[in-house]
Structure 1
């Protein structure tokens, strides 16, 4: 790792590097006699005869039987490769990147190496990305290479997203961190592929040659090919004679099949001359896998989903994402459901359902009894046949009677409407999509029917696929603000919510995923007048070809007329009570804090 000494934080990095080097030297010295014995045996025997039977069995299993010279290479009798070896090496190099370590001010503290191990996760050293903050400020730079004319290729930079996933360990000196899936210029990180992590031991044998792809001293990508051997194998570490330089920390160490066998992290310093090194050390991939596997029970379901491409070949039951419970309620459950009350705010303040234009009206999913509106406890929903999602939901919130009831996460298909008009669990399985409540779970939970209302919000008719950060942060902030005011001021509030259906919404598992969502909140002000405010929040630029990525987006307060234009719904007189109604702007105002809302 290449680091300039600028401040205290950088000195801490150097302390970690020195610590790992000294620990590596201690391991090297402790095994000196054993290593000499093995070296002596390798003079007359080959790696298959020297290493343990278990590791030898795994090594042989990795070899492609069509490569007739593979075993000859391992035992050192032949150095011939099929020409495809070079192509495979180029493919193995693509997921390797330079890491630019930055502080919170954007200053560059140094460079290291890392590599993708799934479409969303990157592996490097703990002493490179030591903590959440360092990861948050640093960037991964792919394609930092020179071409055949020795010109630099265009570099592609991606930020880390440790809020999605971050596991690190100082002893094993590794960090596994999430990375944004689309860069600022629109490049997909998935374009670079990834290096799978194999959990079995024995991917490299003592005496076998290995290669390292690295960014030495932060320079363009370089490779040390095969002129180096595995010298010793410890429980968690491997020593080898590969050439590396500062900046190579976090590099993958490969066997001849370009399978990653260890994560390079330290040199073994010569005790007689601290400026020289007598070996290099990497952390065994099998040890990193074991550590990650032991964290399974403490990870969230979304974190387990991010790990899916890594662990699907491992035998680790704790990483199986929880299956959502899906049931149907009896017809009698719905008999007492009156749904949304249009006169909830008062007989003089009736707020009717919006009117559909004729073309949209034909797309409303009818109930089995021929009606158009699904009524639940304190809220109602109108569904789209073609999109299998709600056109809108509308809920009554009584701030004077709100109750706190726990969450169960058992989801229901509604028996009153055909299943073909409902997006069920098949849409949300094994991805980062949230089942985003349209009617927020807490909103209708008031009065004597609070428990029933809580249960009703867990219908698939009441959810829409939302990128998890939108659902868990920004949208939630707005919902909290509305509910907080209803509760603290004993207000009654009516809230309409729905997705924006656009022709260019991406299609995923047969469903077009909405990129924008809207809300309209209606209250009676202290002066006796209605106030109706509309909000729009977007997932645009957060969704790209089934990859769900994380970037900046904003919530806007917009005119109700704007919602009418983009949804086709007609809210009639409601727009007359909108404080933005008379403004010429159709964009609206950014809502960064509650004080920005115009009532």
Structure 2
């Protein structure tokens, strides 16, 4: 941004705004003839007949079949909505925020609008947040709106974290940027949810009405409801009539199902009167998705994790085909591919610090899935897994991490495999993970066993359905990931060998979804030999119900959710033997009972 007088508060990025408006006007003028033809067609035909058959087909596919009036609204014969339409709009509005653009001295330069599109990422215009410097000093202000008494609600401020993720493009006029997970007053970003964005074209048709949730002129949140008809679709852009003002830049444009169809970015100025606008324009969400998709192969692992929640929505958007997508395909390797694998090495930390597999009662042993070659432990490269027949998920996994031999191997194509050594009915496949917010959460993290000469094979081995468990995106991509990053980074930086056990907690009252009981909690037990030659063993528990908070992490300065190993033993029926004697928390009955009360 250019330097400005102290007493001047201009429109943000005024030059960029002018450029976007001129380009929008040019597109509008070039399509004058086509737009008149479309308008004439709409006098006798419905949007489903005027727009292309492919777009119209997708538009119909995303309608809730229980909404009997939806088609009538699209073709213009009915404006009736179920009363839940207003509730759905209010829910969608939670993810929309005002962006307060500031300079490095904290001076307010202007305002825009943005909205969350994943647990961590916000979408707005390039001309609102042009670069990382603009983002790092600015704020995302949620809840800036009026209540039923027309009083301002309490605003919740989040800082942007462009160092963690930042992507922008001036031509498509969008910026995608990470936000911090906790506000200045410790309110989690997850409270505001996010708006799913779908890849296919046809979420709204020419002649349909759209709604826009916005912060006009930087004012409290406002909405224009169905007064905005789509007049044209021009390459990567949608043009529509709408009531917007400066500050509405970066607003989500919705169809009648409250799905985002475009990112509002410009008013189209009247060439005959500079003070008036003849239309508005937004960037098609499908075009933004395509831009990001074409650059995915060059992303770092951290970038890929941050956009994974959006990718799930892009790929699983078809209501009629929630599972038949390339990303959820599954294969099966030949059984010879596993020959010679010995898996986890109990003596990995040294003969004097042997860490055997956990032991378990007969009730657990009877539920372990039998392996075709005998036994109940599946061995992979540097890790092993024991599977539950009744839950179709791992009881536990255990991996050796060698911080001195870690290899950087690309995530590749995310191809997932069934393990032919146990029956398919004991493995949850792609049918569990399609069309929802469940991630295929690696239990043995992909990077952990990727070391030594077998790094490539270890990388592939982690992509088995035996090694994943259904984890909500907020858990898998945020707190759990941060813990795993810390463990691996510490091992690499200190050249340590580390043993990590991981698994779910199986409760009889876990919810049933698509025939599978979804675990509410996940645990880790981490064992290592410290520099002084003594053993350290620490345990961590993370719930998908957000019931555990503010427990200290003893494996360094990082803070997360630490619990006694004895509690993990009680919750899982697994016994870790001598490891519990090396736990700095110790088997305090009072500590165990206090934590148990928090999670039960």
* TM-score (norm: length of structure 1): 0.65
1:353 correspondence with 2:357: yes
> Do the aligned residues in 2 keep the contact of 1:237 with 1:281 (CA within 8 Å)?
no
Number of aligned residue pairs: 538
Q: Displacement, 1:308?
A: 5.7
Partner of residue 373, structure 1 = 377
Q: Displacement, 1:327?
A: 1.0
Stretches of structure 2 lacking an aligned partner (at least 5 in a row): 60-68, 298-303, 549-557, 593-600
Stretches of structure 1 lacking an aligned partner (at least 5 in a row): 72-80, 545-552, 588-599
**Alpha-carbon distance between aligned partners in 2 of 1:240 and 1:407, rounded to the nearest angstrom:** 41
Counterparts in 2 of 1:286-301, with a 5 A limit? 289-290=286-287, 292-299=289-296
> Do the aligned residues in 2 keep the contact of 1:167 with 1:177 (CA within 8 Å)?
yes
Partner of residue 77, structure 1 = none
**Alpha-carbon distance between aligned partners in 2 of 1:524 and 1:118, rounded to the nearest angstrom:** 38
Partner of residue 415, structure 1 = 420
Q: Displacement, 1:581?
A: 3.8
The structure with the largest alpha-carbon Rg is 1
Counterparts in 2 of 1:530-569, with a 5 A limit? 530-536=534-540, 538-540=542-544, 554-555=559-560, 559-569=564-574
> Do the aligned residues in 2 keep the contact of 1:118 with 1:195 (CA within 8 Å)?
no
**Alpha-carbon distance between aligned partners in 1 of 2:74 and 2:492, rounded to the nearest angstrom:** 69
**Alpha-carbon distance between aligned partners in 2 of 1:469 and 1:241, rounded to the nearest angstrom:** 39
1:306 correspondence with 2:315: no
Aligned-partner SS, 2:504: strand
**Alpha-carbon distance between aligned partners in 2 of 1:13 and 1:164, rounded to the nearest angstrom:** 24
From 415, 420, 429, the equivalent of 1:424 is 429
Q: Displacement, 1:512?
A: 1.6
Q: Displacement, 1:521?
A: 1.2
Q: Displacement, 1:127?
A: 2.3
> Do the aligned residues in 1 keep the contact of 2:115 with 2:122 (CA within 8 Å)?
yes
Counterparts in 2 of 1:123-522, with a 5 A limit? 124-131=124-131, 138-139=139-140, 141=142, 144-145=145-146, 147=148, 151-152=150-151, 168-175=168-175, 184=188, 187=191, 189=193, 199=202, 203-204=206-207, 214-222=214-222, 243-251=243-251, 264-267=264-267, 277-285=275-283, 289-290=286-287, 292-299=289-296, 303=307, 306=310, 309=313, 312=317, 321-330=326-335, 336-343=340-347, 348-368=352-372, 371-376=375-380, 379-396=383-400, 411-429=416-434, 433-438=439-444, 442-443=448-449, 445-446=451-452, 456-466=461-471, 467-470=476-479, 472-482=481-491, 485=494, 488=495, 494-502=499-507, 507-509=512-514, 510-522=516-528
**Alpha-carbon distance between aligned partners in 2 of 1:257 and 1:376, rounded to the nearest angstrom:** 45
Q: Displacement, 1:82?
A: 4.8
Over aligned residue pairs, what C-alpha RMSD do you find? 5.8
Partner of residue 595, structure 1 = none
> Do the aligned residues in 2 keep the contact of 1:25 with 1:269 (CA within 8 Å)?
yes
**Alpha-carbon distance between aligned partners in 1 of 2:309 and 2:330, rounded to the nearest angstrom:** 17
Aligned-partner SS, 2:367: coil
Aligned-partner SS, 1:555: coil
**Alpha-carbon distance between aligned partners in 2 of 1:66 and 1:477, rounded to the nearest angstrom:** 54
Using a 3 Å threshold, how does the CA distance of structure 1 residues 360 and 404 change in structure 2: closer, same or farther?
same
Using a 3 Å threshold, how does the CA distance of structure 1 residues 120 and 506 change in structure 2: closer, same or farther?
farther
Using a 3 Å threshold, how does the CA distance of structure 1 residues 105 and 48 change in structure 2: closer, same or farther?
same
* TM-score (norm: length of structure 2): 0.65
> Do the aligned residues in 1 keep the contact of 2:265 with 2:282 (CA within 8 Å)?
no
Q: Displacement, 1:470?
A: 4.8
> Do the aligned residues in 2 keep the contact of 1:100 with 1:108 (CA within 8 Å)?
no
1:48 correspondence with 2:49: no
